[in-house]
Amino acid sequence: MPEFGIAGAEIMCENLSTELMKKGHDMTVVSLYTYESAITKRLKEKGVDIIFLDKKPGFDFSMFRKIRSVVKKIKPDVIHTHRYVAQYVIPASLGLNVKAKIHTVHNIAQEENTPWARKLNKFFFHFCDLVPVALTQLIKETIVEEYGIKESAIPVIYNGVPLENCIRKVSYNIGETVNLLHIGRYSEQKNHVEMIKAIVNLHSKYQNIRLHLWGDGPLKGTISDLIANNHAANYIIEHGLCDKSYQHFCDADIFLLPSKYEGMPMTLIEAMGTALPIVASKVGGIPDMIKDSENGLLCSPIAEDIAQKIETLILAPRLREQLGCNAILKANDFTSQKMAEQYLNLYSKRI
């Protein structure tokens, strides 16, 4: 992993590492950047070895030497890469008898990396025995399109979370305020601008509405300015980075995920595991998780449709409960235990 900030791919890696440790497998996690976070702290507490390689910003040629040294020392049966690290790891591990090389594609293939990194990945998939794993059927189709790989060579393995950590919602009554929740990186992908427009429009009609934003990222300043310019700081509340999210889900009335594109978002699984009513955009892997009007409401990633679906839930307590109860049932498809078992099966086939 490049680093362990609080984001979906990093949380998936934490959950997978934890489950593999429970099953008695030796795990070493490697982070290119030296960056301590709540995730690295939890992994260390669970006994997972973490190696930091002190990467410098930009392309760092020293990574080839450092990664090769780690691989020689550990002698892993499996190397599992995420995000953009394959460009360092695959060349560095050539000739070292690594039996299985796996790469999880965490987003639609055309959005996962830079064009240059995708060209390298295409070479690795075709000529270096690197196996791409898709999170959903749609992502699998984008991998076929982007990299020219046969569908039969691309396994689909859902992300998973430890559902036992979710705090199940028991009441769907809305109190004095309507509490909406969004947890996500401040980035173009997460579509904060349209979400904020939707809430500003709704607030003129529902003055008890509150949107709670958790996260950080490159657009933090832009989004904070947008909130201030709309005089919305009293009802769109920014909380910063989110470490322990489970209580926030339970405290919310509705979860929002109106992204422009997605893979299989971990926060969505956590919201489902809490039995929370959900409004999410019909993009990427989300329709594989949410069936419209069955276990959530799907929307277009534009302000008008986001606002309409939120209002539908505000006005329909029985619908909120129905969607929430169905969501928690569907969440059982996305457990960290199932995810780990499927990756273990894949590792075993490649070794």
Domain at 93, CATH number = 3.40.50.2000
pLDDT of residue 77: 96
Residues 210 and 310 in one domain: yes
Residues 92 and 192 in one domain: no
Phi, psi of 163 (to 5 degrees): -60, -20
Q: Is 293 helix (H, G, I), strand (E, B) or coil?
A: coil
Angstrom distance (rounded) from CA 35 to CA 2:
9
Give the pLDDT confidence of 7-32 residue by residue, as tens digits: 878 989 999 999 999 999 999 999 99
What's the whole-model pTM score?
Answer: 0.85
pLDDT of residue 20: 95
pLDDT of residue 95: 94
pLDDT of residue 36: 87
CA proximity to 314, closest of 170, 236, 209, 182: 209
Residues 83 and 120 in one domain: yes
User: Does 206 fall in a domain?
Assistant: yes
Residues 316 and 344 in one domain: no
Residues 261 and 192 in one domain: yes
Residues 41 and 129 in one domain: yes
Residues 89 and 237 in one domain: no
Q: Which helix (H) or strand (E) holds 100?
A: strand 100-105
Residues 35 and 127 in one domain: yes
Residues 214 and 89 in one domain: no
Q: Is the pLDDT of residue 242 over 90?
A: no
Retrieve residue 88's tokens: 């360092």
Residues 324 and 342 in one domain: no
Residues 67 and 147 in one domain: yes
Residue partners of 225: CB distance under 8 A and separation at least 6: none
pLDDT of residue 326: 98
What is the span of the domain harbouring residue 106? 8-160+335-350
Q: Is the pLDDT of residue 79 over 80?
A: yes
User: Does 298 fall in a domain?
Assistant: yes
User: Does 1 fall in a domain?
Assistant: no
Under the banding of pLDDT at 50, 70 and 90, the label for residue 191 is very high
pLDDT of residue 6: 72
Under the banding of pLDDT at 50, 70 and 90, the label for residue 247 is confident
Retrieve residue 57's tokens: 């910003």
Domain tally, the chain: 2
User: Does 314 fall in a domain?
Assistant: yes
